[in-house]
Amino acid sequence: MFLSQFQAIGRDLFGRGLVCSCSGNMSLRRGDNIIITRRDAKLSDLQEHDLIETGLNKNSRTTPLASVELVVHRAIYHSTPALAIIHAHPPHTVALSLTEMEIVPNDAEGLSLVGRVPVLGWNMEVKAGGLAEVIAQALKQQRIVVVHGHGSFAIGQLLEEAYNCTTMLEESCRVTCLLKSLNVMPLNR
């Protein structure tokens, strides 16, 4: 039922270079359950067995197969009204997360969609499944956040909304990286 949604977004994330062959994950909340991509699933070629349904509050027999970021997804669903989450590793966004504590889109459209995006996890150990509460708390105020040197977490009511935030932020970060490589910064900063 949800497979085609996951497949379309997964192919696009991979095609745009926002995840590699087995990185990133996505989920949907359905009542007291979560449908989340399987651990190490190829988002570019998702199959039915790559979608794991487990409880929002409790584990099921399939939980060990779920993404290592399950704990983060659960924390986000508990803290926000989100019904969809995308975790990606957009390269320009990750690059800027290594030098910036906040990413500010350089265009009006990006700024209106994602706002000023905090970079979380400075001076903290960053690992898969970590910083769950920090990420969840930040997403109470934001649609997307970035974890220092790791990747982005975006929320929405639909996977498409989280996807739009992810791609908008990466596009803005790509332009910022290009400007920095030219030693030029926009005047509106």
Residue 187 belongs to some domain of the structure: no
pLDDT for the residue numbered 18: 95
What is the mean predicted confidence (pLDDT) over 84-104?
A: 96
**Cβ-based neighbours of 108, under 8 Å, separated by 6 or more:** none
pLDDT for the residue numbered 5: 95
Number of domains, the chain: 1
Enclosing H/E stretch for 86: strand 84-88
CATH number at residue 19: 3.40.225.10
| Residue 184 identity (one-letter amino acid) | V
What is the mean predicted confidence (pLDDT) over 129-150?
A: 94
Q: Model confidence at 179, in pLDDT bands (50, 70, 90)?
A: confident
Residue 189 belongs to some domain of the structure: no
pTM of the model: 0.93
Residue 26 belongs to some domain of the structure: yes
pLDDT for the residue numbered 149: 93
Strand stretches in the chain, DSSP E: 25-30, 33-37, 51-55, 84-88, 102-103, 117-120, 144-147, 151-156
pLDDT for the residue numbered 180: 87
Residue 45 belongs to some domain of the structure: yes
What is the mean predicted confidence (pLDDT) over 71-80?
A: 97
Place of tokens 């969809």: 84
Structural domain that includes position 152 = 3-181
pLDDT for the residue numbered 125: 75
What is the per-residue pLDDT across 102-115, written as a single tens digit (0 to 9) for each?
999 988 888 888 88
pLDDT for the residue numbered 187: 58
Residue 188 belongs to some domain of the structure: no
What is the per-residue pLDDT across 20-71, written as a single tens digit (0 to 9) for each?
988 999 999 999 999 999 999 999 999 999 999 999 999 999 999 999 999 9
pLDDT for the residue numbered 3: 95
Average pLDDT of the chain is 93
Contact 169, 96 (CB under 8 A): no
pLDDT for the residue numbered 107: 81
Q: Residue 90 in 3-state DSSP?
A: coil
**Cβ-based neighbours of 173, under 8 Å, separated by 6 or more:** 90, 92, 93, 95, 96, 103
Residues above pLDDT 90, as percent of the chain: 81
Residue 118 belongs to some domain of the structure: yes
Residue 155 belongs to some domain of the structure: yes
